[in-house]
Structure 1
Amino acid sequence: MDLNTLLINKEFSLNDNITCSGLNEEHEKYFGAVSAPIIQTSLFVQKDYQSYCDDMIHEAERFIYSRGLNPTVDMVERKIASLEMGESCRCFASGMGAISAALMANMNSHDHILLVNNIYGPAIELIKQMAVKYQIQYDTLFDGSIENIKRHIKPNTKVIYTESPGTMTMKIVDLAEIAQLAKSHNITTIIDNTWPTPVFQKPLTLGFDIVIHSCTKYLGGHSDLIAGAVVTSAERMNPIRDFSHQLLGAVLSPFAAWLLLRGIRTLPMRMRLHQENTIKILDYLNTRTDVKNILHPYFANPQEAQIIRKQMLGFSGLFSFEIENANFAKIKKFIDCCKVFKIGCSWGSYESLIISPNRGYNEDTLKQSNIGTGLIRLSVGQEDPDLLISDLDAAFKAIKSS
C-alpha cells in the first residue's frame, strides 16, 4: 500500500508532538526541572485532620495514597489521555492489568463478549478463565466483518473486544462501523490499540468506548518497563477506577511512570523511524520467492486499504510472514541464524526481535487460531535497515542450503 494515499491528519500530528514534548508539564511546580521528578512516596500527609477528612471525600481527585493517585503517575496518565483524545486515563502495572481492569469492570456473570479479529493470547486465556469461574460466554470471530458480528450478537452481549491490526495475522477491521453497530445494541466497545499507538490510530475519535495499551511496547519504547493503560470517558472510568484500579490494586509505580514519561517524549519520532525501517524490510521480503505471505497492512487488499484510509495515520513495525514449505526445524534454524534480530517475546522498542508462534508442539492450536504454522514474527527496531536485511538474507541462505 502506498503510504502517500493515507489521509494524514496534520492537526493530529501537531497535537501529538506538543503532547509528547515537555510542554504543559508545570515545570514551575518542580523548581524549573525540565525532567519531571519521581514522586517516590507511598502516602501524602495533610496539615491537619480536617484536611485529611476533606481529602478522603474527594479520594479520586486528591493525592492521599499512591495506590490511588500519585503526581508522577497522574502526569503520564494525563499525557496518554490527551494523545488518545480521551477524557480520562488510568495506568496499571502491566498491559494485562489494563485488559483485566477494563473487562472486569464492564462484565458480570452470564454476560456475553465477542472477541473480534485475532486477539492477544493472554487476553483470550483471561476470558476463558472468566468463562469457567464466572460463567462469562464468549465467541471468537476471526471474520471481523459487520455482517458476521451482527450474526453473533446475543441479547446478553455486553462487550465487543477487538484489535486492529489483529495479533499475528494483522487483519484490519472497520472500527467506525463496529462502534456504530455496538451503540445501536448498547454494547461497550474495547480495543487494544498497542500496535498502532495513538500516533497512528485514535479509536475514541471513531466511536469506540475504551482504549487499552500495553505501554511496555511502543509507548515505553526502551524495554525497561512494564505498564498498561486504559483510556475512556470520565463517566466510564468511574467503575474502572473504583473497582478494577483501587480494589484489584495492579497500579503503576512512580518510577515506571517516570520511565514511561521519558519514552513518550520521543514517541512520534520513534514511530516514524519504525515505519520507515519496516517498509524497507517489507519491500525486501516482497522480492523473495521463498516468502509466500507477508502479513502487514502495507500489503492490505483493496477493501482493507479503504478502511485504513479512514482510521489509520501510519504503520508500526510488528508484522509476520510465512516461509514457503516451512516446518518447525526450518523455522528454528532460520531464527537461530539471525544475529541482529534478537530472540524475545515482546516488541515495540529500539531493538529488533524475532520469534515464531510455532513451538514444535502446538501446530493444531495454531490452525484453530487461524495462524499459519510457517509464520515468523518480526518486530523491527531502530537499527540500520540494511543490517536487518542482511541478517534476514543470511538466514534465508542458511535454510536454503540445509
Structure 2
Amino acid sequence: MKKSADSLVAHDAQDDRHYGAVHVPVYDSNLFTFSSVARMENANAFPGDSYIYSRGNNPTVHELEQRLAALEGGEKARCFATGMGAISAAVLSSVRTGDHIVCVSQAYGPARELMGSYLLRFGIETSFVDGSSLTAIEAAIRAETKLLYLESPTSLLFELQDLRACAILAGGRGIRTIIDNTWATPCFQNPLDYGIDLVVHSLTKYIGGHSDAMGGVVIGSAELLEAIDRQEHVLLGAVMQPQTAALMARGLRTLPLRMARHQASGLALASYLASQPFITAVHYPGLTSHPQYELALTQMTGFGGLLSFEAGSDRELLVRFVDALTYFRIGFSWGGYESLVSLQEAAAMPNPVNVSSQQWRRLLVRLHIGLEDPADLIADLAAAFKAAGFGLKRNNM
C-alpha cells in the first residue's frame, strides 16, 4: 500500500543502526573503510549498493534519495548538488551525437541554454515548441529525436503540457521523456504515473523550503537511474554533500503542510490580482480562468504558490511598484518560506534561445507567495500599487 505523502515524510521506522535516532545522522565522511580485502572487493563489485566513497554513495544522501523516490512513485532517485546538476545528468544520459531534442519553449532558462546552445558543440540539436500544443510537439519530432523535455507548469507563464498524451506520443516512437516537476512537487503531481520516464526537481525550491541549501534530484526506473549512476553522476561529479542532504530531509518533513499553505495563499493572491482592472493577465493554473484549468484538474491534485501577472509594458511603473513592496523581497528564486518578487520578460516567440532583447518584450511580475499571512501580503500589494500610481481600488480583505 502506497503511503500518503504526510505519513511518508513524517514517519520513520525504528532504526537500530543509528541507536534509535529519530533522524538519520549526517555521515560527513568522504570515504568508508573495510575490515578485509574481500569485503572491499565485494563492495567494489557492487558500487551501487555499497558505501565506498561519498562521490558515489553516502548513507545520509541515500536516505533522502529513497524517501524522494517513494514520494514521487519512482523505483530509484539520485541527488545532485544543484537542480541544473540533475537536469544536465538526465539530459546527457538520454542523447548522443546526432540526436535531436524537442523542448518546451518556456522551460527553465539554463535548461534551455544547455539544450539549445551548449549541446550544439556535440552535434545535438534542439527544437523549442509551444508546450501547450500537442500538435506543435508532434510536428517538431524528427526521425533522430531521442528526447522530449517538458516542464509543467512552466515557471513564467505557467503553461501545462498534457502529460498522458506526451508520454503516449513519445513512447510510441521510442523517445525518452523528462519533466521538471519542481513547481507542483510530488505532493501535487506525479508524472511517472502518467508514463513519463524521468522526473527532475530543484530541491532548492519547495522541497528544501528554507532558502538555505541547493540541490537537485532525478527520479525514475531503476534501469534508467543505474545508467546515470555509472556515468553522469560519478563522472561529472555534481554530487550532493551529506550536510545538504540533511537540510533537504529536514525540509521534506513539512513539505505537505507547507504546500497546503502555499496553495491556499497562492489562490487567494491570484484571485485578488485577477480582480484588479489594470491587470491584463494573471498566470496561475489554479484559477478557473486559466486556459488549461481543466487539464490541470486531470493531472494535478493541487497548486503551488508561484505565479505571475501582466500590467502593461511601462517598465518604470512596474519598477516603482516592485520597489514599494515591503513583505515581498526582490529575488529570483522561489519555494522558500519568504515571499519574493521579480521583474521578468517572457519570450514572445517559440524559440527563446539567442534572440534579441527587442523580441523579449512581454513584461511579467513574478510573485512567490510565501508563508506570511495572505491578508498582509494582499495589503502590501495594494499599498505598492497605490504608491506606484496604478489607482488601485482598496481590497476589503
Shift of 1:254: 0.2
Which of residues 302, 307, 326 is equivalent to 1:339?
A: 326
Structure 1's 321 and 200: CA in aligned 2 closer, same or farther, altered over 3 A? same
1:32 aligns with 2:20: yes
Take 2:191 and 2:129, find their aligned partners in 1: how far apart are those partners?
A: 20
Match of 2:75 in 1: 87
Q: Deviations over 1:183-241 (max 9, x none)?
A: 00000000000000000000000000000000000000000000000001001112211
1:306 aligns with 2:300: no
Between the aligned residues of both structures, percent identity stands at 39
Structure 1's 302 and 165: CA in aligned 2 closer, same or farther, altered over 3 A? closer
Structure 1's 257 and 265: CA in aligned 2 closer, same or farther, altered over 3 A? same
Within-5 A mapping of 1:109-148? 109-148=97-136
Match of 2:276 in 1: 288
The TM-score, its normalising length taken from structure 1, stands at 0.92
Within-5 A mapping of 1:2-401? 15-24=4-13, 26-300=14-288, 304-323=292-311, 325-358=312-345, 365=356, 368=359, 372-373=362-363, 375-400=364-389
Is the 2:130–2:136 contact (alpha carbons within 8 Å) kept by the matching residues of 1?
Answer: no
- Structure 2 gaps of 5+ residues are 347-351, 392-397
Q: Deviations over 1:115-151 (max 9, x none)?
A: 1251000101111333331121111112432222111
SS at structure 1 position matched to 2:292: helix
AA of the residue aligned to 2:67: K
AA of the residue aligned to 1:113: I
Shift of 1:345: 1.1
Take 2:165 and 2:32, find their aligned partners in 1: how far apart are those partners?
A: 46
Take 1:319 and 1:53, find their aligned partners in 2: how far apart are those partners?
A: 52
Shift of 1:400: 1.2
Is the 1:63–1:70 contact (alpha carbons within 8 Å) kept by the matching residues of 2?
Answer: yes
Shift of 1:32: 1.2
Q: Deviations over 1:240-274 (max 9, x none)?
A: 11111011010000000000000000000000000
AA of the residue aligned to 2:236: L
Shift of 1:31: 1.0
SS at structure 2 position matched to 1:60: helix
SS at structure 1 position matched to 2:275: coil
Take 2:18 and 2:63, find their aligned partners in 1: how far apart are those partners?
A: 13
Take 1:73 and 1:285, find their aligned partners in 2: how far apart are those partners?
A: 41
AA of the residue aligned to 1:265: R
Structure 1's 175 and 365: CA in aligned 2 closer, same or farther, altered over 3 A? farther
SS at structure 1 position matched to 2:193: helix
Structure 1's 276 and 289: CA in aligned 2 closer, same or farther, altered over 3 A? same
Is the 1:179–1:189 contact (alpha carbons within 8 Å) kept by the matching residues of 2?
Answer: yes
Shift of 1:278: 1.0
Shift of 1:298: 1.8
**How many residue pairs are counted as aligned between the two chains?**
384
Is the 1:116–1:140 contact (alpha carbons within 8 Å) kept by the matching residues of 2?
Answer: yes
Is the 1:94–1:226 contact (alpha carbons within 8 Å) kept by the matching residues of 2?
Answer: yes
SS at structure 2 position matched to 1:211: strand
Structure 1's 58 and 23: CA in aligned 2 closer, same or farther, altered over 3 A? same
Take 1:121 and 1:250, find their aligned partners in 2: how far apart are those partners?
A: 19
Take 1:197 and 1:204, find their aligned partners in 2: how far apart are those partners?
A: 13
SS at structure 2 position matched to 1:299: coil
Is the 1:117–1:164 contact (alpha carbons within 8 Å) kept by the matching residues of 2?
Answer: no
Take 2:369 and 2:358, find their aligned partners in 1: how far apart are those partners?
A: 26
The TM-score, its normalising length taken from structure 2, stands at 0.93
AA of the residue aligned to 1:345: F
Take 2:279 and 2:358, find their aligned partners in 1: how far apart are those partners?
A: 19
AA of the residue aligned to 1:195: W
AA of the residue aligned to 1:387: D
